[in-house]
Amino acid sequence: MDKIKQKVEEGWMHCIFIIEMLGKPKEHLEKTLKGYIIALKKDKKVKILKEEYAEPEKDKDSKLYTIFVELEVLINGATKVVDFCFDYLPSSVEILDPTSVEYQSQDFSSLLNDLLARLHQIDMALKNSNQENTILKKNSAIFLRNIIYLSLKQGKKKLTELSKDSGVPEQDLDKFLGILIKEKKLKMDKKSYSLS
């Protein structure tokens, strides 16, 4: 009996995972991915049988690189497969053996509760991030409004001058100035802005 079959009979799972990364510079991305795999090799509940790295490819639109590794592994049980998915976020999982997985209801309940706990952590982190993002957007808008007010205290200015003073591109600033005009905080006359 070969080692893989023996491990599967002991409760291990034979899987293939694809782990992808996106970023730059290319060398850093390669080093980071290989660092993930080095850390993974220290886990006694995961045995890497084969690892195949793809060459980094540059994305035309974002100018970031993508790289992936395909791992053939033996992993100690279904719970560890779920943990692996949360910890390493593979883009693909294929379970080669066993062909079916049987659970006692108590074990399955435990797995689902662990899964739900992790989902709740992710949900809480996302909500906190969204709240922080909302506060940052609000503060950025206040900051930009104050810069525009200070700039216009010196007199009427055109969009190009306000863009230069604020550091905000004209097309983005134009939208913001339109909001301030609707709120009657600014007025526009002959393509020049002034305080109301």
One domain for residues 20 and 76:
yes
Sign of CA dihedral 122, 124, 129, 134: positive
Contact criterion met (CB below 8 Å) for 74 and 7: yes
Residue 104 lies in a domain: no
One domain for residues 95 and 128:
no
Residue 115 lies in a domain: no
Quote the domain boundaries for residue 138: 124-189
Local confidence pLDDT in tens for the 196 residues of the chain: 588 888 888 889 999 999 999 888 888 888 888 888 998 899 899 999 999 999 888 887 778 888 999 999 999 988 888 888 888 889 999 999 998 888 788 888 888 888 888 888 888 999 999 999 999 999 998 999 999 899 889 889 999 999 998 989 988 888 888 888 898 888 888 888 888 8
Give bridge partners of residue 194 from the DSSP assignment: 187
pLDDT on residue 86: 83
CATH number at residue 77: 3.30.70
CATH number at residue 155: 1.10.10
pLDDT on residue 127: 93
Residue 29 lies in a domain: yes
Residue 113 lies in a domain: no
Contact criterion met (CB below 8 Å) for 167 and 156: no
pLDDT on residue 103: 78
Residue 140 lies in a domain: yes
Q: Which of 178, 167, 174, 170 shows the shortest CA–CA distance to 140?
A: 167
If one counts the domains in the chain, the total is: 2
Give bridge partners of residue 70 from the DSSP assignment: 18, 52
pLDDT on residue 14: 95
Three state DSSP letters for the chain: CCHHHHHHHCCCEEEEEEEEEEECCHHHHHHHHHHHHHHHHCCCCEEEEEEEECCCEECCCCCCEEEEEEEEEEECCHHHHHHHHHHHCCCEEEEEECCCCCCCHHHHHHHHHHHHHHHHHHHHHHHHHHHHHHHHHHHHHHHHHHHHHHHHCCCCEEHHHHHHHHCCCHHHHHHHHHHHHHCCCEEEECCEEEEC
